[in-house]
Amino acid sequence: MTGFIIVAALLVVAVIALLLPPLWRAPRASGAADRREANLAIFRDQISELERERHDGLLAEADFVSARNELQRRLLDEVQPATTTPAGNDSGGRKTALALLVIIPLAAAAGYTLLGSPRALDPLQRQARLAPQQIAEMVAGLVEKLRKNPDDSQGWVMLARSYKVMERFPEAAEAYSRAGTLVDQDAALLADYADVLSRSHGGSLQGKPSELVERALSIDPDEPQALLLAGAAASDRQQFAAAATYWARLLAQLEPGSEEARALEAAIAKAREIAAAQAAGDKPGTKPTAGAGAVSGEVTLSGKLAGQAKPNDILFVFARAEDGPRMPLAAMRATVADLPLRFRFDDSMALGGGRKISDFRTVSVEARIAKAGMAQSSSGDLFGTLKGVKPGSQNLRLLIDQVQP
């Protein structure tokens, strides 16, 4: 908007500069004679032009005669003796100049207020008016430019943001990965990269998205989006006290009483409530702690099956009782791009039914790359299983090395 106002002001000044000097200066006695000489010169040039067009066959004889007569009539009108302006009227021109000096800027401002659209100066308003086809064409043009100049980091960032607006999150994440050091050194860009990468992986912040968030906060501990995502990632890991801490740092940056602040305050209060309940569970004589019966380890993909998996394929990891219902006791979702993936299941992550890992002597832990994107097994899925896992087992190694028939 500022740029528009500056340009508009310069245009108004230019108009005033063109209009005022002739009015401000006193009229010269030789002005009429100079004008007649100029008109005669123009008349000669136009007659010559008509004759050339007639000679080249571009103008019929009748049209030539008609045009020449019209020029002659206009010339006679121009060279009629003009009434001499009295010398005493010089001040009239200056008064007019002063009036224009005031009226032109006011008229321009009033005219734009009445007829213009100030909201159109807002970049977001301009973007909103673009049709989806126009946006797609602009993005296609940017892609073509980047093909010719793949080292344009700023261009990759622009493309990533464009894809995010279009909700094409995998393409946005890929574009951010091509931006190199421009993203690596900018906390806000790292946080946005983490966001689109998470969305392209079904909303999971574990793995690389969390790493990007940590890097963003190491550059700027108060980066708003990074704090929001860090709290969400901590909440996913059942670390509610940490989530409340991240969100409280973000809350300090929001306008008190705003809708965003109220929503965040509610999330902080809920996280602190759950964290307090978890802490109360650690006291002797109370129900099992969140860490009771925890199993943890790492999931990897066998090299012989790596060619059968795509980075965006959905990965499910879950624990279930060996001697009990088939309903998983705990589960997490990620993508193949997150491999190798660290996992940890404990009683606080119990799913529906109320059964916990610590309720059973042994459990099985399975990792499944779901080709259909569903938790249920289907033909062609890649999977691996660990059986006979005792609650409390740590540093497990789960290898995906089988194909579902």
DSSP 62-89: HHHHHHHHHHHHHHHHHTSPPPPPPGGG
pTM: 0.43
Whether 278 contacts 348, CB under 8 Å: yes
Outline where DSSP puts E strands in 178-260.
Answer: none
Question: Which DSSP helix (H) or strand (E) runs through 338?
Answer: none
- Torsions phi, psi of 397, nearest 5? -120, 110
Q: What is the pLDDT of residues 168-180, one digit of tens each?
A: 888 888 889 888 8
Below-70 pLDDT ranges, the chain: 1-41, 43, 59, 71, 74-132, 281-292, 324-326, 350-354, 375
Predicted confidence at residue 19, as pLDDT, reads: 60
Can you read off the two tokens belonging to residue 91? 């001040």
Predicted confidence at residue 290, as pLDDT, reads: 47
Distances (CA, A) of 322 to 325, 351, 389, 396: 8, 16, 9, 17
Predicted confidence at residue 17, as pLDDT, reads: 65
Strand-strand pairing, 402-403 and 382-389? antiparallel
Predicted confidence at residue 102, as pLDDT, reads: 63
Predicted confidence at residue 126, as pLDDT, reads: 47
Predicted confidence at residue 236, as pLDDT, reads: 80
> Which among 33, 28, 45 has a CA at the least distance from the CA of 85?
28
Distances (CA, A) of 230 to 76, 119, 349: 84, 35, 19
Q: How far is CA 44 from the centre of its chain?
A: 61
Query: Coil, strand or helix: which one is 336?
Result: helix
List for the chain the helix, strand, coil content (%; round to 5). Answer: 60, 10, 30
Burial per residue of 359-388, b for 16 or more beta-carbon CB atoms within 10 angstroms, e otherwise:
bbeebebbbbbbbeeeeeeeeebbbbebee
Whether 345 contacts 294, CB under 8 Å: yes
Predicted confidence at residue 305, as pLDDT, reads: 92
Distances (CA, A) of 380 to 22, 98, 99, 264, 271: 86, 85, 84, 43, 40
Predicted confidence at residue 360, as pLDDT, reads: 87
Q: What angle do CA 393, 394, 395 make, to 5 degrees?
A: 135
Predicted confidence at residue 324, as pLDDT, reads: 67
Angle between helix axes 208-219 and 187-200 (nearest 10 degrees) is 170
